[in-house]
Structure 1
Amino acid sequence: MKQIEVSIMGQSYLLGCPDGGEERLRQAVTQVDREMCAIRDSGKLKARERIAVLAALNLAYLLTDRPPAPAATQASAEGAAPPGAGLPPPEYIDNLIQRLDHALDNDGHLI
């Protein structure tokens, strides 16, 4: 297993990666970074952990809403998506933020 260094929202991470999976991992990191930066830039959240949880929820939502794509066409279809493309509507994001704030209200920790 190989290790690669990546940056998400300006923070460096050293991630384990199976041989031959570097490009897929870098694509995933780009998606997570784009999602987290979009949430941060909206100005509604400042805490990195809340941004990460909301980004994970948004990405999971997108995955459950998308029909499975054949492996050959998936890479070409995802290549040139503009930042923020495919995000849920702002009302959905606001609702998630409220639910997240409520869940974290007691001690600031999700788990």
Structure 2
Amino acid sequence: MKQLEVQIMGQSYLLGCPEGGEQRMLEAVEKVDGAMCRIRDAGKVKARDRIAVLAALNLAFDAAGRHSAPQAATALASADLTSAGINGANGNDPRLAGLLERLDRALRQDGRLL
């Protein structure tokens, strides 16, 4: 296993990576860094853990959309996920609204995920 040192939102991380997977890992790091920086730069969220969770949810939602295109296209249109964070809890998708409410409650409880 190879180790890569990368920067995500200005912080260094040492990541394990399988041989031959370096390019894919660097592409993943670039996506995560970009998603987190866009959320941070929008100025609506300051806590690094909340930024990470929102970026992960955005990326996971996008990835799920690629696997079930017709249903995901409808969900994306109604959810209104943006690069500045998840703003789509507007009643169009009750599952997404419920997920966001649970996430907000959990993060308000102690301000950290782990």
Q: Aligned partner of 1:48: which letter?
A: R
**2:21 is matched with which residue?**
21
The question of 1:93 aligning with 2:86 is answered yes
User: Identity of counterpart residues, as a percentage?
Assistant: 59
Matched residue count:
92
Structure 1 stretches of 4+ with a deviation exceeding 6 A read: none
Between Structure 1 and Structure 2, the one with more helix by share is 2
Alignment partners' CA distance in 2, 1:106 and 1:67: 34
The match for 1:103 among 97, 101, 106 is: 106
**1:71 is matched with which residue?**
none
In structure 1, runs of 5+ residues without a counterpart are 69-86
Computed over aligned residues only, the root mean square deviation of the Cα atoms, in angstroms, reads: 2.5
**1:19-41 C-alpha deviation (Å, 9 max, x unpaired):** 00000000000000000001101
Alignment partners' CA distance in 2, 1:44 and 1:64: 25
TM-score w.r.t. length of structure 2: 0.70
Q: Aligned partner of 2:106: which letter?
A: A
**1:80 is matched with which residue?**
none
Alignment partners' CA distance in 2, 1:89 and 1:40: 13
Alignment partners' CA distance in 2, 1:67 and 1:103: 28
Alignment partners' CA distance in 1, 2:12 and 2:33: 11
